[in-house]
Structure 1
Amino acid sequence: MNVYEGRPEDFECRKEKEQKVYEILDSLGIRYQRVDHEPVATIEACREVDEALGIEICKNLFLCNRQKTKYYLLVMPGSKNLQTKELSPQIPSSRLSFASGEDMERLLNVSPGSATIMSLIYDCDNQVQLLVDEEVLAEETFGCHPCVNTSSMKLQAADVFGPFLKAVHHDYIKVKLS
């Protein structure tokens, strides 16, 4: 698996939502490494990507409350499992469950298996609250998809949780998951 610096040479051939990620990162002067690969929809399928980039791709879970009035994008280490009873009191929101693929498409312009912090560029109305596990925030680097699950990126965590989130008008809530 080849590791590349910056946007792909075949940029114009990529999906528009992937192009938009590279455009915003480039406009902010955020450097990134990238690999292209077969579609990966699970953390287990990302192991080869992790090795190539020297990172652990984060698990991104799209959640909602029972009434479907509040939506959350939870970013956590791929090795952790979510216990909603542990998360709920920290945000606070009871009765969390996985949001539908339709809601993910509508709010973040990504399909299941492609959820990513980068998709917040499409949440212009700030309907999705970003939740980040403290272990992710403690890392120097951050791995994610550019709104498609056929490419993965390695960025500096400070760039993602600083200039990127500021540019897309989002903040995060730090959570602690065991």
Structure 2
Amino acid sequence: MTDTAKDQEYEILSPPSDLRRKVRELTPREAKKFDPVKAAEAALQRLSKNFGTWMDNETRDLMSAWEAVRNEGLTEETLATLFRAAHNIKGQALTLGFPLVGQVAANLCHLIETVPGPESLPLGLIGRHVEAIRAMVMEGAKDDANKTGVKLLETLQGVTDEYLAQFPPEPEEA
């Protein structure tokens, strides 16, 4: 027999503060004039002065994760940390103004996700991705205007595709 909600003990948790007290309601006149997209763009503009620092921090996390792989070997934990750091860069790079770096990070994530197991990961190729990200952030290689960065990305993608070609995709189950 299953317990019903009446039979079970439960506790209702109340939030420590009512956020409605922190927000001012707009008057109907203000609400008509309010443009949420414009407000978000203005907020992003105010925050943009921090983007370089934030990208530096993400890169440091990636470098630290790579150092752990080099020192401790490719374990489940070190690989997960490395992947998470690359994935964070992949997700944040466009917003932070580094789309080219995001593409390199995406390629690194693709490499890690596609090989059949950690023992198949080429440490040299991973290291080249990490170094490329570090160098691009340090040099400010943000987008397609940086021809060296574009060439580096294309080379990494080509080498990665070549390497991954040896692992045929798993057949999908019907």
Question: TM-score normalised to the size of structure 1?
Answer: 0.25
Q: State which structure, 1 or 2, has the greater radius of gyration over its C-alpha atoms.
A: 2
Length-normalised TM-score, structure 2? 0.25
Structure with more relative contact order (C-alpha pairs < 8 Å, separation 6 or more): 1
